[in-house]
Amino acid sequence: MSFWEYANPKRFMALSSAALPWLTGLTALVLGVGLIWGFFFTPDDFRQGSTVKIIYIHVPSAFIAINAWLMMLVTSLVWLIRRHHVSVLAARAAAPIGLAMTAIGLITGAVWGQPMWGTWWEWDPRLTSFLILGLFYLGYIALWEAIDDADTAADLTSVLCIVGSVFAVLSRYAILFWNQGLHQGASLSMDREENVHDVFAYPLWTCIIGFVLLFITLVLLRTRTEIRARRVKALISRERMA
Amino acid sequence: MPDLGTYAVPVLSAYGATIAIIALLVWASWRRGRKVRAELHALEGRRKDA
Amino acid sequence: MIALLIRDLRLAIRTGGGFGLGLAFFLIIAVLVPFGVGPDSAILGRIAPGILWVGALLSCLLSLDRIFALDFEDGSLDLLATAPIPLEGLVGVKAISHWLTTGLPLTLAAPVLGLLLSLPEEAYLWLIASLLIGTPALSFIGAFGASLTVGIKRGGLLLSLLVLPLYVPTLIFGAETIRRGAEGLSTTTPLIMLGAITLGTLAVLPFAAAAAIRVNLR
């Protein structure tokens, strides 16, 4: 049996309906453990004090925000190449989650930056790129909402997603260039790989896994909704024809 | 409750905002899922009657 | 294809729409900014590169939805799509005619507005160069955005939302070129990057736009 079997809406519905309760439980468990561990049972950083606890939501949400777009790119490509409806509907389902995660990343970053950097907002390359990513999500969602015909909307948003991906990467490097033009290499962002100690790393990884599970659960749930919404639309138009 | 020291407000507001956004997202996804499912059931029921 | 270009140019000039409107908008932005910022010429000179680029970008945006919308409404887009020229070529011609009616006049008007904003003297050459190299990218990206939204009634606002994030790299390199020029630094890198973006959009985006139009005409 091939992987593409699950592109059949009926099979997808059956599998996702069986998997959803388990996934929901697992998500709640892992996310709960990770967040409680991070919030209650980790020491304060000697420089950042208790604000270090924000890392347990900031990093996972940023991780999801970027990878949700990547997932949308892949599923859009699958739709354009193999014309599997479930694929493009999953991309549609993922976009609002990505937008929400981008918002969480920006908000938690601003709240952390205020006491640490002394400013809510800095035109740092990372922050700026994230803002642009949020705009891409907005545009993608708005295009879906604006087009009536489902297949047309699917095709056009997929094309937008692909072109947008190229420009998102381009913007990332342009922004790096632009900021160095102002600040001569002075970067405010911390080097996470080297700075994070094991005491922080284990709960952080738990939280990342928890956020990934949350993302998968929500995508499945929302994709099921999109598939049903599509069927409703098809049935209504069939009734009108009859 | 751990002692958050001087940074209690930022830490708590960050967690609060995150939980609020995620709760909103989950609630919106769940509600729309229910609405669409009910709509679909109603439509399919009507088709069987006819 | 040349006949098509001439037809589009004639239409743009005779209907008067985007041709004068973009220019007037650009002028108004350049006039309004000093009122908002204050008449200090040192500050104005510093922000002039950014203002001029943002102004050019917004003026470009104004006329984007005309690229395909009028032809789509009266059905000539269907005819053009079945014409013996490839759709990709059609997109290219449309983008070029958009550039000739907006990007080029904006470039020519920019130095005058630079005077109003007390742009430093060394920067004028780079102002013209960066706009000349950068604005075609604006037209081609805009043509792609317009091809996505061509089937949507009143898609103008959506078009801006889609296109503006795509304009970020062009804007960064364009404004950076002038800023460096004004400060007497080397402008080679941003100018080359700007040229690369323009050539890249010129080569790739007509295909994406043509695909979007085919979907919209289906």
Listed in sequence order, the residues at least 6 apart from C190 whose beta carbon sits closer than 8 Å to its beta carbon are A177, C130, C173, C174, C176, C177, C180
B18 contacts in chain A (CB < 8 Å): 57, 61, 104, 107-108
Domain assignment of residue A73, yes or no: yes
| Beta strand spans in C66-215 (E) | none
Are the Cβ atoms of A156 and C215 closer than 8 angstroms?
Answer: yes
> Are A240 and A39 a contacting pair, CB within 8 Å?
no
- For chain B, what are the domain ranges? 17-49
Q: What is the pLDDT along chain C (218 residues), one digit of tens a residue?
A: 777 777 777 777 666 555 677 888 889 988 898 888 888 888 888 888 888 999 999 988 888 888 887 788 777 788 888 878 888 888 888 888 888 888 888 888 888 888 888 888 888 888 888 999 999 999 999 999 999 988 887 778 889 889 988 998 899 888 888 888 888 777 888 888 889 999 999 998 999 999 998 888 87
Size of interface A-B (CB pairs under 8 A): 93
A221 contacts in chain B (CB < 8 Å): 29-30, 33
pLDDT of A182 higher than 50: no
Write the ipTM. Answer: 0.83
Q: How far is Cα C208 from Cα A166, in angstroms, rounded to an integer?
A: 12
Helices and strands: H and E segment counts in chain B? 1, 0
Domain assignment of residue A156, yes or no: yes
Locate C198 and state its tokens. 């323009």
Residue among C151, C172, C180 minimizing CB distance to A175: C172
Strand partners of residue A139: none
How large is the angle between the packed helices A55-82 and A198-241, nearest 10 degrees? 40
B20 inside 8 A of chain A by CB: no
> Are C172 and C50 a contacting pair, CB within 8 Å?
no
Average pLDDT, integer, range A3-28: 84
Q: How far is Cα C22 from Cα C62, in angstroms, rounded to an integer?
A: 6
pLDDT of residue A5: 67
- All chains having 3 or more CB pairs closer than 8 angstroms to chain A: B, C
A218 contacts in chain B (CB < 8 Å): 25-26, 29
Q: Dump pLDDT digits (tens) for B15-46.
A: 888 899 999 999 999 999 999 999 888 888 87
Are the Cβ atoms of A231 and B8 closer than 8 angstroms?
Answer: no
Locate A89 and state its tokens. 């509907």
Domain assignment of residue A241, yes or no: no
Q: How far is Cα A161 from Cα A136, in angstroms, rounded to an integer?
A: 9
Q: Is A41 helix (H, G, I), strand (E, B) or coil?
A: coil
Q: What is the residue whose two structure tokens read 């997202």? A: B25
B23 inside 8 A of chain A by CB: no
> Are C109 and C26 a contacting pair, CB within 8 Å?
yes
- All chains having 3 or more CB pairs closer than 8 angstroms to chain B: A
Structure letter (DSSP) for residue C186: -
Q: What is the residue whose two structure tokens read 């035109």? A: A123
Total domains, chain A: 1
Are the Cβ atoms of B7 and A61 closer than 8 angstroms?
Answer: no
Q: Which of these, C29, C3, B26, lies nearest to A27 by C-alpha position? A: B26
Residue among A156, A162, A174 minimizing CB distance to C169: A174
Q: To the nearest 10°, the Cα dihedral for A37, A40, A43, A48?
A: 110
Q: Do chains C and B touch (3 or more CB pairs under 8 A)?
A: no
B44 contacts in chain A (CB < 8 Å): 235
Q: How far is Cα A176 from Cα C68, in angstroms, rounded to an integer?
A: 35
The rounded Cα C26 to chain-centroid distance in angstroms is 12
Domain range for residue A189? 21-236
Nearest Cα residue in chain B from A53: B11
Nearest Cα residue in chain A from B45: A235
